[in-house]
Structure 1
C-alpha cells in the first residue's frame, strides 16, 4: 500500500466517523460529550491534512469547517493579468 492509499483509507474512515458523530448528535442532542467528539473529529481531519501536505498529497475535497493550508508565497503575477482592481476597473483601461 502506498502513502496515497493509506491517506485515502484514513480519509474514508474519517468521513464515516464524522457521519457517525452527526448521527449520535441527532439522537443525543448537542451535549458536551457530543461536542467534544465533533472537536476530536475536526482535530483528526486537521492532522490528516497536515500529513497529506507534508507528503505532498491531498486526500480529497475539503470538508465543511476543515482548515485548508494556503502558502504565504506570492502568486505568479500572470494569475492576475486579466483581473479588475476592485473599484478601479481593469488595469491599463482608460477611464
Structure 2
C-alpha cells in the first residue's frame, strides 16, 4: 500500500473508533474516563491530519546553495573608524 492509502485506512479506522467512543459516551454519560478517551481520540484525529498534510507537502526542503567565502584578507580600511571590541578606542586607555 502507498502512504496515502495507509493514511486513508488509518482515517477510516479512527472514524470508527470515534463513533464507538460516542456510543459509549452516550451509554455511560459524561464520566471522566470516557471524556479522556474521547480527548485522546480527538488528538489522534489531529495527529493523523497533520501527518497527512506533511506527506502532501513537497519533498524535503531543498538546502540553500553553498556560498564560497574567499580566503583573501579583508581590506583593513573597513575597520578604521571602529573600536577594538572590549578594548576601547585606540587613542584612549582603559581605566
Aligned to 1:8: 8
Gaps (5+ residues) in structure 2? Answer: 58-95
Aligned to 1:43: 43
1:27 pairs with 2:27: yes
CA deviation after TM superposition for structure 1 residue 35, in Å: 0.4
CA deviation after TM superposition for structure 1 residue 54, in Å: 0.5
The alignment's C-alpha RMSD in Å is: 1.1
TM-score after normalising by structure 1? 0.58
Q: Structure 1 stretches (4+) deviating beyond 3 angstroms?
A: none
Q: State the SS of the aligned residue for 2:30.
A: coil
Give the structure, 1 or 2, with the largest relative contact order (CA under 8 Å, sep 6 or more).
1
2:24, 2:16 → 1: CA distance?
A: 12
Gaps (5+ residues) in structure 1? Answer: 58-95
Q: Deviations over 1:61-89 (max 9, x none)?
A: xxxxxxxxxxxxxxxxxxxxxxxxxxxxx
TM-score after normalising by structure 2? 0.58
